[in-house]
Amino acid sequence: MTRRRNLLPLTLIHTSAALLATTSLALTLWTGLEERGVALAFGVLVAVGELSRWNGTTGLGLRETAPLGAAGALSYALLGADAGQPTHHGAFQVVTVVVAASLVGCVPHIACGRSRTPDHLARRVLTVGFAAVCFQPLYSQGVFGPWGGPAYALLLLALLSLTALCDAVLAAALAHSRTRWPFGPLLRDELRGMLGIGSAVCATGAVMALAVAVVGLWALPVFSVPLLLTQLSFRRYAAVRTTYRQTITSLARSTEIAGYTPAGHARRVAALCQAVGRDMGLSEPDLTVLEYAALMHDIGQLSLVDPVPAGATAVLPVAEQRRIALLGGAVVRQTGVSPQVAAVVERQADPCREQPVSARIVRAVNAYEEKTRAGGPGGPLQALEELRLGTAGDYAPEVVEALARVLSRDCLTLPSVG
């Protein structure tokens, strides 16, 4: 029953997008295509933007993976004139052109089996339809005739801001439906991501619409170049972040290679920490710090002469846990990783009430993994019960309950190794 309720937003969004696209296509075929040259130019721009789409990662401030396609689609939705001549295409033609161009541009992505393509297309159809319905009928009736100069530009930016908000809500609803993570934190992260390339997309869409109205379609390639360069910069930044994470993962494996911790322990703890952090509503930057700290939480064991049996630090005396944690924080600081990560590693053995949230999560999840591994077939339930009994002083109650929700909701014990 829970799974069906969570799939309801996904079904509604996809069904609404399909109905809007089908209706627009039928009406456009019935009435004919207005200003075919303009429609072709914007269609090519959207198709090229979709072809250059890439699978962006969270935590980079990059939520729009096809910025050029988004800017082209929004500028066509808000286009009122071409080189001083009023245009007569309506909202349904806008949706039709964008859908056709997006499908052409998405063919390689669909062929590669990228699962996010249907969600991406649904968002594109609904957001462009929203912008076109807000602008085109009023423009055709001459409502915006008295608006000129800065007032008209501010009008376009206001409509684009509302469209961006609509897109953020759709993206958060789709992510919530597919992952069952809390909707509020997902929406907050989407809105925060809009401040990055989302603002560039909105600004470029408005400038394109204004420029085409004055100088014609030659403005499209001119204003496409800066956005393409911005997208290229984000790709390079994402590559640097990926390399950075791979370096941290390699450092975390040093305890496994040296025989201090079991194989895959750090990866399992990091994966479960992220799930618990999302359930508790942590933001994307906090989740990144949490992941890195969870990967490196045992690195202080490299300073031990005699390894702890099975790397189980949760059963050690508090003083020994604190010493290992401080040594681990010192190692993390020397590697050049963020000081926030080092602080979480250092404080995972502090009294529970004095710890930051990330340190509480790492401590509880690490203890759960160790107790599960040592408990045999009944280990997960027994480990969770022991954590609940320890909420009086050793583990944060809110973290233990979030861990229980994650394990129950996702039918998990621990991610498998490899």
- 192-201 tens-digit pLDDT: 877 777 788 8
**CATH code at 298?**
1.10.3210.10
Which of the four pLDDT bands, split at 50, 70 and 90, describes residue 3?
Answer: very low
Average pLDDT of the residues in 10-38: 92
Residues 26, 152, single domain; the answer is: yes
For 86, half-sphere exposure in the C-beta direction (CA atoms, 13 angstrom radius) is 9
Q: Same domain for 111 and 180? A: yes
- For residues 153-162, average pLDDT: 87
Average pLDDT for residues 13-38, to the nearest whole number? Answer: 92
Two structure tokens written together for 201: 């997309």
DSSP symbols for 22-34: HHHHHHHHHH--S
Query: What pLDDT does 58 receive?
Result: 41
* Best-predicted range by mean pLDDT (175-189, 205-219, 235-249): 205-219
pLDDT at 98: 93
| 233 in a structural domain | no
Decide if 336 is inside a domain: yes
Domain hosting residue 174, numbered range = 2-228
% of the chain with per-residue pLDDT over 70: 89
- Positive or negative, the Cα torsion across 284, 285, 287, 291? positive
Separation of alpha carbons 47 and 70, rounded Å: 10
Question: Number of structural domains, the chain?
Answer: 2
Predicted pLDDT of residue 55: 57
The per-residue pLDDT of the chain, averaged, comes to 82
The 10s digit of each residue's pLDDT in 298-317 is 888 877 767 777 666 766 77
DSSP designation for 194: I
Residues 285 and 339 in one domain: yes
- pLDDT above 90 covers a percentage of the chain that reads 19
Residue 80 in any domain: the answer is yes
Over the stretch 335-351, which tens digit does the pLDDT of each residue have? 778 888 888 888 888 88
Instruction: Say whether pLDDT at 126 is over 90.
Output: yes
> Per the domain annotation, does 416 fall within a domain?
no
Q: Looking at residue 113, what is its pLDDT? A: 67
As a 3-state breakdown, the chain gives helix, strand, coil percent values, each rounded to 5, of 75, 0, 25
**CA 101 to the chain's CA centroid:** 25
Question: Quick one: tokens of 148?
Answer: 């000129």
Separation of alpha carbons 288 and 277, rounded Å: 10
Two tokens at 390?
């320890």
Is 5's pLDDT higher than 90? no
Residue with the larger pLDDT of the pair 184 and 169: 169
- Do 139 and 19 share a structural domain? yes
Q: pLDDT band for position 263 (50/70/90)?
A: confident
Assess whether 204 and 252 both reside in one domain: no
Record the pTM.
0.79
Distance in angstroms (rounded) separating the CA atoms of residues 74 and 69: 9
Quick check: helix, strand or coil at residue 258? coil
Q: Would residue 315 count as lying in a domain?
A: yes
Residues 127 and 256 in one domain: no
User: Is residue 296 domain-resident?
Assistant: yes
Question: Has residue 21 got a pLDDT over 90?
Answer: yes
Across 93-130, b (16+ Cβ under 10 Å) vs e yields bbbbbbbbbbebbbeebeeeeeeebbbbbbbbbbbbbb
Residue 342: CB atoms within 10 Å: 21
Q: Can you tell me the mean pLDDT for 408-412?
A: 64
Answer whether residue 57 shows pLDDT above 60: no
Confidence of residue 418 (pLDDT cuts 50, 70, 90): very low
Q: Are residues 167 and 264 in the same domain?
A: no
Question: Measured between alpha carbons, how far is residue 165 from residues 122, 170, 345 in Å?
Answer: 15, 9, 37
Residue 10: is its pLDDT beyond 90? Answer: no
Q: Residue 204 — very low, low, confident or very high, per pLDDT cuts 50/70/90? A: confident
Final residue in a domain of this structure, among 163, 196, 228: 228
Residues 280 and 303 reside in one and the same domain = yes
Q: Of residues 26 and 178, which shows the higher confidence score?
A: 26
Alpha helices by DSSP H, listed for 180-264, are 183-193, 199-215, 219-252, 254-257
> Residue 414 falls within a domain, yes or no?
no
Note the pLDDT tens digit of each residue in 71-118: 999 999 999 888 888 888 989 999 999 999 998 888 887 777 665 678
Q: What are phi and psi of 82, to 5 degrees?
A: -130, 110
Q: What is the pLDDT of residues 273-306, one digit of tens each?
A: 998 998 888 888 889 899 999 888 888 887 776 7
User: Is it the case that residue 61 has pLDDT exceeding 70?
Assistant: no
pLDDT tier at 325, thresholds 50, 70, 90: confident
Same domain for 291 and 387, yes or no, is yes
Asked if the structure places residue 363 within a domain, the reply is yes
Question: What is the structure's pLDDT at 410?
Answer: 61
Mean pLDDT for 233-257 is 82
Residue range 196-212: mean pLDDT, rounded: 85
Residues 171 and 320 in one domain: no
The pLDDT tens digits of the residues spanning 341-384 come to 888 888 888 888 888 899 899 988 988 888 887 666 566 788 88
Looking at the fold, whether 217 and 251 belong to one and the same domain comes out as: no
Q: Where are the beta strands (DSSP E) in 16-88?
A: 81-82, 85-86
Six-digit token string for 179: 């992952």
pLDDT given for residue 153 in this prediction: 83
Give the tokens for residue 47.
Answer: 């198709």
> Which residue, 228, 252, 284, sits at the end of a domain?
228
65 plus 205 within the same structural domain: yes
| pLDDT in the model for residue 163 | 92
Judged against a pLDDT cut of 50, whether residue 122 lies above it is answered with yes
Q: CA-based Rg of the chain, rounded to a whole angstrom?
A: 26
Q: Give residue 352's pLDDT.
A: 81
